[in-house]
Amino acid sequence: MKILLPFFILFSFVLFSRNACAQTTPEKKITMRLDSARFNDFVKQVESQTGYYFYYDASKFDSLTLDLDVKDLAIRDVLDQVFKGSEFEYSIDVQKRIYITQGQKIITQLIPGLFEPDLAGDNGTIAYAGPENDAKEKLLSTAESKLHEIGIKKHRITPGNSTITGYVRNAVTGEPVIGAAVFITSPSIGVTTDALGLYALTIPRGKQIVRIKSTGMRETQRQVMLYSDGKLDIEMRESVIALKEVSVKAGMDKNVVGTQMGTVKLTIKNLKQVPTVFGETDLLRTVLTLPGIKSVGENSTGLNVRGGSTDQNLIQYNDAVIYNPSHLFGFFSAFNPDVLKDVELYKSTIPAKFGGRLASVLDISSRDGNKKKFVASGGIGLITGRLTLEGPLVKDKTSFLLGGRSTYSSWLIKTLDNENYNKSSASFYDVNLHISHEINEKNSLFLTGYISDDRFRLYGDTLYTYQNQLASLKWKHTFNNRLYSVFTAAHTKYQYAMGAAGLPLNSFDLKFDINQSNFKADLSYVLHPKHTLDFGLSTIYYKLHPGSFQPKGPESLIVPDELEPEQGTESAIYIEDKFEVNPRLSITAGIRYSYYQYLGPRNVNTYVPGLPIEYIYQNGVKEYGSGKKIKSYGGPEYRASIRYSVFDNLSLKVSYNTLRQYIHLLTNTMTVSPTDIWKLSDNYVKPQIGDQISVGLYRNFRGNKVEVSLEGYYKNIQNFLDYKGGDSLIMNHNIEAAVLNTKAKAYGIEFMIKKMTGKLNGWLGYTYARTLLRAIDRESPDAPNDGNYYPSNYDKPHDFTLISNYRFSHRFSMSFNFTYSTGRPYTPPIGKYMIDGSQRVYYADRNQFRIPDYYRTDVSLNIEGNHRIKKLAHSSWTLAVYNVLGRKNPTSVYFQTVGGKVNGYQLSIFGQPIPTITYNFRF
């Protein structure tokens, strides 16, 4: 009886459907007028006039109002008018039931042709080609129910595998869906889409159901009849919530099943959940909440990743390197949140295609822009404002994205109760432009431009300016169903200037700039669905102008000075093999070989052989002509990682990396400064070489909704650069004599628990980490701490962060952030003495003291606009309080001599709560 019951229900449904269609009666017309009425009032009037009944989730419509004036219209015409341009869909069945859903249309009748004769041929499968999508809807349900025939149709399907390739795109905007899982369940085979939304799935020929999942998108599927290699593009809709609350998250098991470790992917949604200073969504400050990532101070966006210095991070925006990722000396990041798509951070297993930095890679991608319609969005806060425009240049083929951001913060500085501050000013702006163009199915072009400018005038005297400029052109080409490529050309320029005009006799201009041009080719060859080979090459040309010091005006007595330019090339080739041996064991192994040349023209200082590199031992200069090789370095860089699944929800991972770095940031300040000096490797400044081994355990709970990870690492760095005490780095013609080659070791443990679904979500992270340095020449008089190990400037052993978000309703949500860390080390003066009538200061051992520990609490409240369907713009308000407890966290410690006595002082940047309010809009 139980077996017959489903067939009975199905037969009754079909019979009733046909009878109902045969007995259709004329539909009643609707006449009504509503002014700012609640949706529930509209429903009652329709039900009373027509006999139809509505089924919907009332919580979605509690704040929705509508205006309506109709006369003698059919029910479908009224509903079309009500829901036009909204995210809601309606469906009507034969029993006069109206279902209202969000983003997804419910199928209320059986698929046409379900009981038609077999059209497939030998294999006995049902071949169904559903109704054509009409111009009005193009419903996703049609694409799901249709049988897609792929390849060259044959009378009989031969055994074996074929490859389906295509793009997964957002159905509303036309943008690629990155990291979407495309798979079949029997047998279990799957792949993920790349940064352009491209996938290549090799599966057995015949009838298959291909499923597609992605974070924040509704799960979809395609029925395919696979004859041979072919193409299938897929569109997905965003976060659908139908009659029941459903949330589909793809890749939630990647924490366990992925081979890479120490990799974090953040979406713009993650970034906007973290309360930040001045109410501006900040990419880098969000990254700083992750385990293993620190900053030396509150006013610095320089990243210290697993014991690395700030220059050991490769930060790139659409494949172009950015050298200074901050605005206003670290108070804001340089990235407009409205143009970003996602961010991927590699700190442990760094893919072989990346090189040139030791600590991490921060790969930032922008959105492509809406290919369907024109959209404007932006935000207005107390200190900054932003505006983004996007839309199609050629519908469904070419789109643009233009974003601008600026600050009007000078008014805030002038309100400070200090006469000197009243003469100060600060401002910045940045502009992003991105154009994407799909030439055909196998070729796409992407053009990106970015420029930023910062100006800060202190006390009306000294003006600091610095700019980032970058451009990149990317060509994505598909050779065939197995071989894919991305070719990229990019150029980056970073420059700073400092000008003092207070006293005409001492006025000056100081300038520095760095130019980098690079080309790279990245290719992927799919040997097998579970076996991929990545390979490619890259080359970089560097040109640095280390400094120009010039008098400002004819009255200035400043002596002109200019350092010689530096130039060099860095080239590399790589190959990396990704292989899933079996469901429990995956291996990734690769090698990258890099080669660097330091080139002329250049006059190179020479020193007395066998003696330390000191100013007093310089014995001459050696001249090199243009393009002549002065010095070269190179060597292999090994990458390997293994994942072993102990259970389905528990895995063990091990990775090993070797990396080389040929460009260095020289600084003798605690925080990152725009006036820090970049230096290429040369005869005396050797490339840094880092080796890192990591081990991690990963466990998921509650159906992959909760992720837990525990990672440990040990890192060894050769030729780590530190500074010698008392030496100046600016306009130094013997810069090699001012730096100290050290050996560094870093080790630590990172713990993280993350829940990204449900009303309450967020993450908790704890890090214990140490970074210790020791001079290579331990006998040198310049060796700190008598040649023994000493903490680095950013050595902060304990770090704890809690990020939590709670959604009260669809309109109201709240975020909470708590951060604690050990105070950073510093070196205080402990005495003074006289030498030849001159007073000298005696310092303690380097970095043997620490400033007080740091902790801070932030909260924010996000209020979405009402859910009225027809309105000019969708808007939201963000109210935030940074440092709710008003903790005076010391940023630095300094000392002054008063009355012959040395006194210590602490400087706090944000020593009180900072409330902010931001209005966000989208047309």
Q: What are phi and psi of 514, to 5 degrees?
A: -135, 135
Going through 308-414 in order, the beta strands assigned E by DSSP cover: 313-317, 320-321, 326-327, 332-333, 340-346, 360-366, 375-380, 384-394, 398-407
Structure token digits, residue 812? 């109201």
Q: What is the spatial distance between Cα 366 and Cα 368, in angstroms, rounded to a whole number?
A: 6
Query: Which range among 91-105, 615-629, 873-887 has the greatest average pLDDT?
Result: 615-629
Give the pLDDT confidence score for residue 332 in this predicted structure.
84
Q: What are phi and psi of 430, to 5 degrees?
A: -145, 150
Give the pLDDT confidence score for residue 251 in this predicted structure.
47
Q: What is the spatial distance between Cα 735 and Cα 738, in angstroms, rounded to a whole number?
A: 5
- Taking Cα atoms as reference points, which of 469, 510, 473, 511 lies closest to residue 493? 469
**In one letter, which amino acid is 885?**
L
- Taking Cα atoms as reference points, which of 161, 153, 144, 145 lies closest to residue 122? 153
Lowest mean pLDDT among 94-98, 337-341, 738-742: 94-98
Distances (CA, A) of 820 to 463, 612, 852: 35, 42, 11
Cis peptide before 504 (omega within 30 of 0): no
* pLDDT exceeds cutoff 70 at 126: no
**Average pLDDT in the 611-637 region?**
94
- Using pLDDT thresholds of 50, 70 and 90, give the confidence band for residue 286: confident
Give the pLDDT confidence score for residue 567 in this predicted structure.
97
**In one letter, which amino acid is 73?**
L
Give the pLDDT confidence score for residue 110 in this predicted structure.
45
Query: Higher-confidence residue: 249 or 725?
Result: 725
Lowest mean pLDDT among 5-9, 211-215, 428-432, 718-722: 5-9
- Using pLDDT thresholds of 50, 70 and 90, give the confidence band for residue 800: very high
Give the pLDDT confidence score for residue 123 in this predicted structure.
35
* pLDDT exceeds cutoff 50 at 312: yes
* pLDDT exceeds cutoff 60 at 122: no
Please spell the DSSP secondary structure of 667-721, one letter per residue.
--SSS--TTPEEEE--SSSPPEEEEEEEEEEEEEETTTTEEEEEEEEEEEEEEEE
Please spell the DSSP secondary structure of 89-131, one letter per residue.
EEEE-TTSEEEEEES-PPP-SPPTTTTSPP-S-TT-PPP---P
- Using pLDDT thresholds of 50, 70 and 90, give the confidence band for residue 257: low
Q: What are phi and psi of 75, to 5 degrees?
A: -60, -40
Q: At what angle do helices 39-50 and 75-83 cross, to 10 degrees?
A: 170
Hey, what domains does the chain have and what are their CATH numbers? 25-102 (3.55.50.30), 140-251 (2.60.40.1120), 263-922 (2.40.170.20)
Tens digits of residue pLDDT in 313-332: 999 999 999 999 988 777 78
Structure token digits, residue 102? 């969000």
* pLDDT exceeds cutoff 80 at 253: no
* pLDDT exceeds cutoff 80 at 152: yes
Tens digits of residue pLDDT in 685-709: 999 999 999 999 999 887 778 999 9
- Using pLDDT thresholds of 50, 70 and 90, give the confidence band for residue 8: very low
Tens digits of residue pLDDT in 353-389: 999 999 999 999 999 999 988 999 999 988 889 999 9
Q: What is the spatial distance between Cα 739 and Cα 614, in angstroms, rounded to a whole number?
A: 10
Instruction: Give 118: exposed, middle or buried? Use CB within 10 Å, 0-12, 13-18, 19+.
Output: exposed
Give the pLDDT confidence score for residue 244 in this predicted structure.
33
Give the pLDDT confidence score for residue 108 in this predicted structure.
56
Give the pLDDT confidence score for residue 299 in this predicted structure.
67
Q: Is the dihedral of CA 63, 68, 72, 76 positive or negative?
A: negative
Q: What are phi and psi of 98, to 5 degrees?
A: -110, 120
Q: What is the spatial distance between Cα 412 and Cα 416, in angstroms, rounded to a whole number?
A: 7
Q: What are phi and psi of 145, to 5 degrees?
A: -90, -20
Lowest mean pLDDT among 514-518, 760-764, 780-784: 780-784
* pLDDT exceeds cutoff 70 at 419: no
Query: Higher-confidence residue: 348 or 431?
Result: 431
Q: What is the spatial distance between Cα 329 and Cα 739, in angstroms, rounded to a whole number?
A: 24
- Using pLDDT thresholds of 50, 70 and 90, give the confidence band for residue 835: confident
Q: What is the spatial distance between Cα 691 and Cα 306, in angstroms, rounded to a whole number?
A: 12
Give the pLDDT confidence score for residue 414 in this predicted structure.
65
Number of H helices, E strands in the chain: 8, 57
Tens digits of residue pLDDT in 93-113: 767 888 888 766 665 554 443
From its phi and psi, is residue 460 left (phi > 0), alpha (psi between -120 and 50) or beta?
A: left
Please spell the DSSP secondary structure of 513-558, one letter per residue.
EEEEEEEEEEEEEEEETTEEEEEEEEEEEEEEEEEEEEESSTT--P
- Using pLDDT thresholds of 50, 70 and 90, give the confidence band for residue 116: very low
H helices present in 246-366, as ranges: 254-257, 268-271, 283-287
Structure token digits, residue 387? 């505006």
Q: What is the spatial distance between Cα 427 and Cα 431, in angstroms, rounded to a whole number?
A: 14
- Taking Cα atoms as reference points, which of 911, 426, 349, 360 lies closest to residue 641? 349
* pLDDT exceeds cutoff 70 at 863: yes
Contact 205, 226 (CB under 8 A): yes
Contact 142, 130 (CB under 8 A): yes
Cα torsion through 719, 721, 727, 732, rounded to 10: 90
**% of the chain beyond a pLDDT of 90:** 40
Instruction: Give 655: exposed, middle or buried? Use CB within 10 Å, 0-12, 13-18, 19+.
Output: buried
Beta bridge partners of 408: none
Longest dimension (CA), the chain: 114
Query: Which range among 421-425, 713-717, 830-834 has the greatest average pLDDT?
Result: 713-717
Please spell the DSSP secondary structure of 763-798, one letter per residue.
EEEEEEEEEEEEESSTTSTT-GGGGS-EE-TT---E
**Residue keyed to tokens 């006013």:** 299
Lowest mean pLDDT among 287-301, 435-449, 757-771, 899-913: 899-913
Give the pLDDT confidence score for residue 277 in this predicted structure.
61
* pLDDT exceeds cutoff 50 at 815: yes
Give the pLDDT confidence score for residue 365 in this predicted structure.
93
**Average pLDDT in the 120-135 region?**
36
Measure CA 606 to chain center. 45
Distances (CA, A) of 749 to 380, 766, 767: 41, 8, 6
**Average pLDDT in the 873-895 region?**
85
The reported pTM is: 0.79
Q: What is the spatial distance between Cα 276 and Cα 383, in angstroms, rounded to a whole number?
A: 13
Structure token digits, residue 98? 């109206």
- Using pLDDT thresholds of 50, 70 and 90, give the confidence band for residue 259: low
For the chain, give the mean pLDDT: 83
**Average pLDDT in the 417-445 region?**
85
Tens digits of residue pLDDT in 538-584: 999 999 999 999 998 888 889 999 999 999 999 999 999 999 898 88
Within 13 Å of residue 379, how many CA atoms lie on the same side as its CB? 24
